[in-house]
Structure formats: C-alpha cells, structure tokens
Amino acid sequence: MDEPEENLFSSLHDQRRLSAFNMAQLDLYRLHILLSDCNNLSRAGDLINWKRVLDALFRELSAHLTDTEADGCTDLVTGQLVPAMKDLGVLQAKFKGKTNKFVQAKMDAAYTYLSAYEISLRKVLKRLGISLPSRGVRSALGGGD
C-alpha cells in the first residue's frame, strides 16, 4: 500500500512543478506583451498610452526592484516625465492639436523621459536575467549569444 501513496506524492510534486512552470511562462508572456506594446506605442508617438504601459510594467516588476531602482523610476516619473507631459498637454490644447516648434520641443522632451523610464525598467529585467529577446531568439536571428 505504500507504493500508491508514493505515486500520489510524486504526482502532486510533479503537478506543483508544472504549475510553477506554467505561472512563470504566463509572467514572461505578460512581460513580452507589455514590452511589445511599448515598442509599438513609442514608434507611433502615442505618449500617453506608452506611459500607461510603462506604469503597468513598473507594477509587474515592483516586487523585484531595489529601493534605488524604485526611487530612480519614481523620481524620473514625478520629477520630469509627468511635468513634461502636462506641459505638452497645455501646449497641444493652446494650439488646438497643431504641431509647431514649441509643441514639438515638449513632445521630444516627454519622449526622451519615456525612453529613459523604459530603459531603466529594461535594465531591471536584464538584472533579473529576463533580457528579452532571449539568447535563443538572438541566435536564431543570426545574432551572437
């Protein structure tokens, strides 16, 4: 009778391992989707939605951020990014959505701060060993390991 009980425990252990593996895959998939959205939104110049996706990425990574990383991101967002985006919004409203050199300068500033925010989060991913695309993908694309 010991044998079926042993198989049950082995089976439960395997199920837990499979469950942990599946959860890790889902975590990686969520990160992949967020990073893909960042790429698409930044190229499209959709600054507001790009920031929202970066904020979601920040929340996903928040448990893994060091205090220095978290403070750096928070300082960047509250001290530079949000004011730049507010200034951009004011100018866009003033010029009724038309782009001129003033609006473009504010847009460039907001874009620069969003890029810095994204790069800082990607550095956290790299520190965690989740540098996307993975080595296997780079190798398959003809890049180095």
pLDDT digits (tens, 9 = 90+) for 65-79: 999 999 999 999 999
pLDDT digits (tens, 9 = 90+) for 105-124: 999 999 999 999 999 999 99
- Pick the residue with more confidence: 3 or 84? 84
130 CB-contact burial (10 Å; exposed 0-12 / middle 13-18 / buried 19+): middle
Residue 97, Ramachandran bin (φ over 0: left; ψ between -120 and 50: alpha; else beta):
left
| pTM (global) more than 0.75 | yes
Residue 32 has pLDDT above 50, yes or no: yes
In this prediction, residue 6 carries a pLDDT of: 62
Give the pLDDT band of residue 90 (cuts 50, 70, 90).
very high
Tell how many helices (H) and how many strands (E) occur in the chain: 6, 0
pLDDT digits (tens, 9 = 90+) for 39-73: 999 999 999 999 999 999 999 999 999 999 999 99
In this prediction, residue 7 carries a pLDDT of: 64
Residue 140 has pLDDT above 70, yes or no: no
Distance CA 15, CA 32 (A): 25
User: What is the residue-wise DSSP string for 49-78?
Assistant: HHHHHHHHHHHHHGGG--HHHHHHHHHHII
In this prediction, residue 22 carries a pLDDT of: 86
